[in-house]
Amino acid sequence: MASSSNSLICIIILLITSFKHVYGCYESIISFGDSLADTGNLIRLSKSNKIVASSVLPYGETFFHHPTGRFSDGRLVIDFIAEGMGFPLVPPYVGVMKNMSSSKNSIRGVNFAVAGTTAVDISYLEKRGIKNPATNVSLGTQLEWFKQMLPILCDSPTSCKEYLENSLFLMGEIGGNDYNHPFSQGKSGEEVKSLVPAVISAIGQGINELIELGAQTLIVPGNLPIGCSASYLTIFKDSNKKDYDNSTGCINWLNEFAEYHNQLLQQEIHKLREIHPHANIIYADYYNAAMQIYKSPKNFGFTSTIVACCGGGGVYNYDSKRPCGSPSSNYCDTPSSYVSWDGVHLTEAAYKLIAKGLLQGPYTIPQMNYGLYNKGISDQ
């Protein structure tokens, strides 16, 4: 797929350590991940008799006005990245494969993310007594899908080399479910912490595999501050008062856990940069991009941070037995003033701010300045 056949979207990557700029021009966005990035794969993969929350209102009602399979009231970080760089919204892999009548030259990206996905293979968790109730898809599965689809996206070694070099790869967010599942199933903090090295290794192997295939620019997000999540705040609602941050209401040790994951992830990225000095591996600091909101919500127009907009009641409006979208759930009038959408995922308004923090700085390492041909993030 020659670059002359498509208009290129460009960003500038500021390499902090050398004070140089690297210019990246992209023909497509390729995404992997879980429900923070899923734009409609899980609902297409699920059996007809299994209702997925994101397939019913009020999911999708803010921007799309109907459910799309996104686990939010509207757009996700990947949508804002695509929009901000002038791309169309990235379609889900399963939807693309079911509609291959369109010309492959019109495919400007594919999203392989599936809600519930883990970084490690499901067998690794099952051996440790951990179940994945959402899907049997892992990061490895998504990478296999991509490799199987590559001949559709490009049809010769030369065109595939150009396609991979001219694609922007989003590796996640991935890894959150490797911890969500065991925490929700009663595993201790120490047990879950022991999983982190394997999770980081799986992410690192995925990044390495993509680079060896020919990928040159990859954005790798870290974990969000899970101690501020309504679901975790509900699970650990009997925590000691000293466990909470007085200013945010978040649980400190859970946020420290997320920071531990992010620290090891950045160490892994550093190793991969040394192995592949030609590749641009960009760490996306979801944690601090979100924490700025939790620390100063009024500065960003939020009135509620840790209580879910849509849920089944309780202190944090979260009940796993009465999830958002169920007949007995309730729904706030102004999602844009809430950070938490359904207790697990964030609102479109929160995702938009995180995306701005990535594209406009300062929450990527190295920093991204996407000012060459960008169309900006819509205020819609």
- Give catalytic residues, as residue numbers: 35, 342, 345
End-to-end CA distance of the chain: 33
Q: Which long-range contacts (CB under 8 A, 24 or more apart) does 324-331 make?
A: 324/53, 324/58, 324/59, 325/53, 325/54, 325/56, 325/57, 325/58, 325/59, 326/53, 331/58
Q: Side chain identity at 197, as an amino acid letter?
A: P
- Among residues 251, 245, 253, which one has the least CA distance to residue 228? 251
The sign of the torsion formed by the CA atoms of 274, 178, 53, 55 equals positive
Q: For 106, which DSSP code? A: G
Residue 1 contacts residue 105 (beta carbons within 8 Å): yes
- Among residues 336, 347, 308, 258, which one has the least CA distance to residue 71? 347
Q: Side chain identity at 57, as an amino acid letter?
A: L
